[in-house]
Amino acid sequence: NAGVTQTPKFQVLKTGQSMTLQCAQDMNHNSMYWYRQDPGMGLRLIYYSASEGTTDKGEVPNGYNVSRLNKREFSLRLESAAPSQTSVYFCASTSFYEQYFGPGTRLTVT
Amino acid sequence: GDSVTQMEGPVTLSEEAFLTINCTYTATGYPSLFWYVQYPGEGLQLLLKATKADDKGSNKGFEATYRKETTSFHLEKGSVQVSDSAVYFCALSPLMNRDDKIIFGKGTRLHILP
């Protein structure tokens, strides 16, 4: 039982490049989330998906898009990366109000 | 809207000291309350939870009691260890939570000195 997995673990992008962060969970959870964590800022919700086929904006959605590919997978896309998107990105899924987090993707945009 | 406020860090203690990290919340009705812990280089993981007033959550020597009258959920441990060094997040799940969202505090970094 792997829980929540994320790929890649580390990524360096140049300004303007695009990339997709992948997330998958094997716990059959309906709800999935993408957060970013910046030093001293705690967690900020980017997008979430309450169920397969639905997505909604969180606190800081600008510059990101998401896809809930199926019940297991929820990807986050940066279409044109900016230095302000340098952060650690966490995916999570929820069951009975408990969130399970992936190990994170550390993204640097130069 | 619903929110969580926790004490700012970093908190630095010596091994075997008593720990308190304060957390208060604002919410409608009776939310569920949580403490999550994040060890260096890892994602958050649930440490303990309480789902109704006067409940006490406990795990790994940590405890927190859901106090409705003071809207608080303070984290305590009687004797901390170096391995407890981490960032601790207080969180709540609103009463009417259609989207299963969790609201997190900003986190408190804890350093334990040997």
Q: Is A88 left (phi over 0), alpha (psi -120 to 50) or beta?
A: beta
What is the helix (H) or strand (E) element at residue A6, kind and residue range? strand A4-7
Write down the pLDDT at residue B98. Answer: 64
Name the strands in the sheet holding B19-21, side by side, starting at the edge strand that comes first in the sequence: B19-21, B75-77, B62-65, B56-59
pLDDT tens-digit readout, A28-41 = 999 999 999 997 77
Average pLDDT over residues A97-107: 91
Nearest C-alpha in B relative to A40: B106
Whether A71 contacts A28, CB under 8 Å: yes
pLDDT of B94 reads: 81
| Record: contact A99-B43, CB cut-off 8 A | no
* Of A84-98, B10-24, B71-85, minimum mean pLDDT range: A84-98
Q: Which helix (H) or strand (E) holds B50?
A: strand B45-50
Q: Is residue B38 a contact partner of residue B25, using CB atoms and an 8 Å limit? A: no
How many angstroms away from the CA of B59 is the closest CA of chain A?
15
Which pLDDT band, with edges at 50, 70 and 90, does B28 fall under?
confident
Of B42, B89, B106, Cβ closest to residue A103:
B42
Q: Distance (Å, rounded) from C-alpha A79 to C-alpha B13?
A: 44
Listed residue (B52, B73, B62, B59) closest to B4, CA to CA: B73
Across the interface, which of B43, B98, B104 has its CB nearest the CB of A102?
Answer: B43
Give the minimum alpha-carbon distance from B73 to chain A in angstroms, rounded to a whole number.
17
**Could you say which DSSP state residue B72 is in?**
B
Tally Cβ neighbours within 10 Å of residue B46.
Answer: 17
Structure tokens at B68: 């409705």
Nearest alpha-carbon partner for A29 in A102, A105, A94: A94
User: Does B43 contact A101 at a Cβ distance shorter than 8 Å?
Assistant: yes
Rounded mean pLDDT of A2-27? 95
State the smallest CA–CA distance between residue B93 and chain A in angstroms: 6
Q: Encoding tokens for residue B111?
A: 């350093």
Window B:43-82, CB contacts with A under 8 Å:
43-46, 49
DSSP, res B112: E
Q: Which three-class secondary structure state does DSSP give residue A14? A: coil
The C-alpha angle A13, A44, B39, rounded to 5 degrees, equals 85
Does A90 reach chain B within 8 Å, measured CB to CB? yes
Choose among B43, B46, B89: nearest Cβ to A98: B46
pLDDT at residue A65 greater than cutoff 70: yes
Q: How far apart are the first and last CA of chain A?
A: 36
Is pLDDT above 80 for A2?
no
Put simply, the answer to whether A90 touches B32 (Cβ < 8 Å) is no
Average pLDDT estimate for B95-114: 85
